[in-house]
Structure 1
Amino acid sequence: MTRDGLRFGIVLLPQDRWAQARARWQRAEEYGFDHAWTYDHLAWRTLVDEPWFATVPLLAAAATATERIRLGTWVASPNFRHPVPFAKDVMGLDDISGGRLLLGLGAGGTGWDATVLGPPPAPAERTRRFAEFTELMDRLLTQPVTHHAGEFYTADGARTIPGCVQRPRVPFVLAANGPRAMRLAARHGQAWVTFGPNLPAEATAELSPAAAQELWWQGLAAMVEQFGVQARAEGRDPASVERHLSLDGAPVFSLTSWDVLQEGVERAASLGFTDVVVHWPRAEGVYAGSETVLDRLAGELDRLRATAR
């Protein structure tokens, strides 16, 4: 837990034209959220045929429309990113935002943007690629000139000048569910982020929503324990790594009701998470929820922070 209590973040999907999206990013700041994020995909799952805008220009626009709130990628991956040009983008976003950028990074899933550029890697290869991607991003963002010849990436005298506003680089928020990725998060991350356990459909098919939710929390508790093991293996005190939880990884979306949200916040805090993240509620489908609950959350952020200290 941070000295000031639990921090709160919100994800805004990149679906609206900027003329409409601008007001939401500004509202996220006015509401008092500590950080705001957007997905770094070319398209996403069930929303693949809906509007979807690019991440970097959206975050650049959000940076100029806001003043205080931290901004980040939820999460960038090697699925379609190369570290050399992406490091330039990250350096630019950190500069435009005045040092407010958070870099969420993940291995990349098996969804649409994993295949649009060609056949996706096998799971073991994807894990190795993520490790190389993260380690090379770390080098690119902390030194002016980088040379690298690896299994997946080459950097021949890549320049990243003048570097990030934040020193030695922007904070890495690394998504990890398995042991190898958790060790990578402990090695390079200022924060670990998880969406919780991925419950197979057959495990929840006959469960009530409440029972499925409880199963998810039990799995998450085991993941927290596993992260502690991996952090200690890397020589780090697990408490020294900030921990972000996507509450909407659970079977019941966080802004479905106030009771669901409040229970999620309390249980996240009890598991040692320093930050919780919700999604701006959509009218239906994935991340469906109530803007009334969002408004209430905004009004009670200070109280929830205080009770979670």
Structure 2
Amino acid sequence: MRFGITILPQDPWVEARRKWLGAEELGFDHGWTYDHLSWRTLADQPWNATMPTLTAAAVVTSRITLGTFVSSPNFRHPVPFATEVATLDDISGGRFLLGVGSGGTGFDAVVLGQPELTPGERHERFEEFVSTLDLLLRYEGEHSEGISVDGAWFNAVNARMVGRPVTAPRVPFVIAANGPRGLGVVARFGSGWVTTGADGVVGDAWWAAVGTLVARLGDAAEAAGRDPLSIDRYLSLDSGGSYSLTSADAFEDAVGRAAEHGFTDVISHWPRADGIYAGSEAVLDEVATYIERWRG
């Protein structure tokens, strides 16, 4: 099992720096931040830009892997975004994971004046976004002619990469999906799959739904001719009506249940002072002891 922590991009850097350094010192394997322009109940609070935050985190850390949780085509175009991804991968020394999803229907989906999309349209845009990023980040040519894309959602004319990913053949994609078409994208492009589980259910019903999703991922991988175990499986523990860092015991229980369902990685959220994910940072020291003991 690998352990991840999500640090919301809300703090001035002097405070955020402490948390990112702390995540590495506590022994977490990967650290994440949300890739939104604003988010749900925190829309009226400070919210910093994702890629600069992760770049700063890359500079002050040396071991922990860094990722977006998750990027989407709601407000991003694959050409400029690919250059940011490649540059961040270079600065971090190959420690970047690109978490990517179809994009929700909230603030990010409307703030730029976008039209409301149907679920089918959102999936088609998502698939084109991922496939175009895959093409751009794998580009090995001389850049003399660039890359051109004539898509239904995204276009590019002789696009050239600025910066090269350190990671070959490209930065790993950790793809968020629950439905059959989205899981098909995971099977085609994903080094990993991340899920928050089924919406609208909590407790044991949520865990049962998580087990169903794991089985569906296996089916999608096999349909694509891929070994399901070749795909890392990430679970956000802070869904299903509970917060994993309420206590060390709650964390240990959630990790154990995730392991039973075959997850390779779990992700929690750094405790906030109040509101969503509210908790005490003191629990992190206990969790660090548990992580060390788990690795044995």
Superposition TM-score tier, normalisation by shorter sequence: over 0.9
Report the counterpart of residue 40 of structure 2 in structure 1: 45
Q: What CA RMSD, in Å, does the superposition of the two structures yield over aligned residues?
A: 1.1
Rounded Cα–Cα distance in structure 1 between residues aligned with 2:10 and 2:210 = 30
Q: Give the secondary-structure state (helix, strand or coil) at the position aligned to 1:248.
A: coil
Correspondent of 1:73 among 65, 68, 82: 68
Assess, with a 3 A threshold, how the Cα gap between structure 1 residues 175 and 168 changes in structure 2: closer, same or farther: same
Listed one character per residue, the Cα deviations across residues 259-280 of structure 1 (whole Å, up to 9, x for unaligned) are 2211110011111110000000
Measured after TM superposition, the shift of residue 284 of structure 1 is 2.1
Listed one character per residue, the Cα deviations across residues 256-303 of structure 1 (whole Å, up to 9, x for unaligned) are 122221111001111111000000011222112232222211122122
Measured after TM superposition, the shift of residue 161 of structure 1 is 4.9
Report the counterpart of residue 266 of structure 2 in structure 1: 276
Which amino acid in 2 is paired with 1:285? G
In the superposition, the TM-score normalised over structure 1's length comes to: 0.91
Q: Identity rate of aligned residues, in percent?
A: 56
Report the counterpart of residue 205 of structure 1 in structure 2: none
Measured after TM superposition, the shift of residue 155 of structure 1 is 1.1
In the superposition, the TM-score normalised over structure 2's length comes to: 0.95
How do 1:194-273 and structure 2 match up within 5 A? Answer: 194-199=195-200, 212-273=202-263
Q: Give the secondary-structure state (helix, strand or coil) at the position aligned to 2:103.
A: coil
Measured after TM superposition, the shift of residue 162 of structure 1 is 4.9
Rounded Cα–Cα distance in structure 2 between residues aligned with 1:162 and 1:248 = 35
Structure 1 residue runs of 4 or more that deviate by more than 6 Å after TM superposition:
none
Listed one character per residue, the Cα deviations across residues 59-99 of structure 1 (whole Å, up to 9, x for unaligned) are 11111111111101000000000000000100110011111
Rounded Cα–Cα distance in structure 2 between residues aligned with 1:262 and 1:289 = 16
1:291 aligns with 2:287: no
Rounded Cα–Cα distance in structure 2 between residues aligned with 1:98 and 1:235 = 32
Which amino acid in 2 is paired with 1:300? Y
Which amino acid in 2 is paired with 1:56? M
List alignment gaps of at least 5 residues for structure 2: none
Correspondent of 1:142 among 138, 141, 147: 138
> Quick one: higher RCO (CA 8 Å, sep 6+), 1 or 2?
1
Correspondent of 2:123 among 123, 127, 152: 127
Report the counterpart of residue 88 of structure 1 in structure 2: 83
1:114 aligns with 2:115: no
Report the counterpart of residue 168 of structure 1 in structure 2: 169
